[in-house]
Structure 1
Amino acid sequence: MISEFVTINGKKVELLILGEKGIPIVILTGMGCSFYEWYEVTKSLAKSNRVIMFHRTGLGLSQLRQEVRNTNAVVEELNQLLQVLKNYEPIILVGHSYGGLCVQHYVRVFPEKVGGIVLIDSTSVDLKN
């Protein structure tokens, strides 16, 4: 597995893309989780789809940012990443744990860019204390 890098907001972001065909699947991992932990799933999905994963700021080899880190920041980074990759077709978003919360936020902000979602052990936007 060989990752690559793109620049978003002037910072280096570590990226993994496997597969070349089918509907793009973007996987957002849980808090503190590396995309390396998802490699077997990614490898399997890449047989029929293009799979895109990135390390959020401060994870893996992605550079740490100084601004506030929240789901809005992740939504903006993902949107910019898709623009850098010139992906203009609807994607399938897979979110695990905190990544699931980010997926739900992304769908609310950019519903036209999403063809479907899968939530795995996701935090809910409707969670009440």
Structure 2
Amino acid sequence: MDGRGMPAPGELYTIDGRQMHLQRSGPVPASALQPTLVIEAGGGCASPIYARLQQVLSAKYPVISYDRAGMGWSEADDAPFDGKRSAQQLHALLAAAEVTGPIVLIGHSLGGLLNRIYTGLYPEQVAGVVMLDASHPEQFELFKGLPAEQLAPERKKRAEFQAGGVPPPDFAPIQAIFADMPHVLRQMAANYTPETIDTMVKEHEGLQHVARQAGASPDLGARPLAVLSATVMQKLPPGAEEAAEVQRRWPEYQEAHAGLSTRSRLHRIEGAEHMTLVVLPPFVSRVAEEIDWIMAQLGCTR
């Protein structure tokens, strides 16, 4: 699984003076009207996490995943994390990759907020939206960010790994989940870096700002919208009252997402956790079914 130092597996484009990375798969759009699916990652996640989802979806549709600044193979920048700037960079990246037709945005976790911002900025381009256990603006009202010192041990562990150390225990479940996709394991090893932790801290510091941007974005109108929600919540340590309140309100948040469009449907996926929803085959298959529904609503069937 050793992918340390591996080159970018996809395509690199210069956006705002820095390299940004995307991975493209699936058939070429059959016409200028066929949407391309664009996966927006959750906070602190790089494109390889969504490799199984991309593989399944690309059996029918053109699909793109990409890395935000500082994640995966996209170069970091010095600016604070900002949803509008992120959307502008993605828009420029898609243009550079000659994705000129409509898109369907697939946002996991934080990606759901970013998709709302993107749609508000480029409404003519976004044909449909999928929210995968997506974050809600209100959950970050009391959020204080993630102190860098809290992640110092994780940063040290990743630095030791990149210097030639053995894979940490964290990789055991990842190896099990992606045992049939060794190329993905190599990509994940390549992304297990201390610099990724720096980007995670930056994204956490900007969450309240990005949440306000998403909350101020317009509703999704009549765009087809599929909302999929996990039902298994993470076990919390004592004293995590704020997180417990977010978990209590999670079903309410997902219903609010569904209310953003006049053409939506909401499914609570039994047995799915926040991350397993996008990586385990049975749940990925359910996501694919919802994509089929979105595409049928748009008059695109294969």
Q: What does residue 86 of structure 2 align with?
A: 74
Q: CA deviation at 1:53?
A: 1.1
Matched, 1:95 2:102: no
Q: What does residue 21 of structure 1 align with?
A: 28
Q: What does residue 110 of structure 1 align with?
A: 122
Q: Highest Rg: 1 or 2? A: 2
Query: Quick one: distance in 1 between partners of 2:54 and 2:26?
Result: 9
CA contact (8 A) 2:104 2:129 kept: yes
Which deviates further from its counterpart, 106-115 or 79-88?
79-88
One-letter code aligned to 1:123: S
CA contact (8 A) 1:28 1:95 kept: yes
The CA deviation string for residues 16-40 of structure 1, in whole angstroms up to 9 with x for no partner, is 1111234200000001112111111
CA contact (8 A) 2:20 2:93 kept: no
Query: Quick one: distance in 1 between partners of 2:86 and 2:99?
Result: 17
Q: What does residue 134 of structure 2 align with?
A: 122
Query: Quick one: distance in 2 between partners of 1:59 and 1:106?
Result: 19
Query: Quick one: distance in 2 between partners of 1:45 and 1:90?
Result: 17
Matched, 1:55 2:67: yes
Matched, 1:8 2:15: yes
Matched, 1:32 2:44: yes
Number of corresponding residues = 128
Q: What does residue 97 of structure 2 align with?
A: 85
CA contact (8 A) 1:55 1:62 kept: yes
CA contact (8 A) 1:94 1:118 kept: yes
One-letter code aligned to 1:70: D
One-letter code aligned to 2:27: E
Q: CA deviation at 1:82?
A: 1.6
TM-score, normalising length from structure 2? Answer: 0.41
Q: CA deviation at 1:124?
A: 2.3
One-letter code aligned to 2:22: L
In proportion to residue count, which structure has more helix?
Answer: 2
One-letter code aligned to 1:16: Q
CA contact (8 A) 2:108 2:133 kept: yes
Query: Quick one: distance in 2 between partners of 1:119 and 1:63?
Result: 26
The CA deviation string for residues 88-110 of structure 1, in whole angstroms up to 9 with x for no partner, is 21100000111111001011111
* Unmatched 5+ stretches in structure 2: 1-7, 30-34, 142-302
Q: How big is the alpha-carbon RMSD for the aligned residues of Structure 1 and Structure 2? A: 1.6
SS at match of 1:58: coil
Q: CA deviation at 1:59?
A: 0.6
Q: Name the % identity.
A: 29
Q: CA deviation at 1:2?
A: 2.7
CA contact (8 A) 1:21 1:48 kept: no
Matched, 1:46 2:58: yes
CA contact (8 A) 1:95 1:118 kept: yes
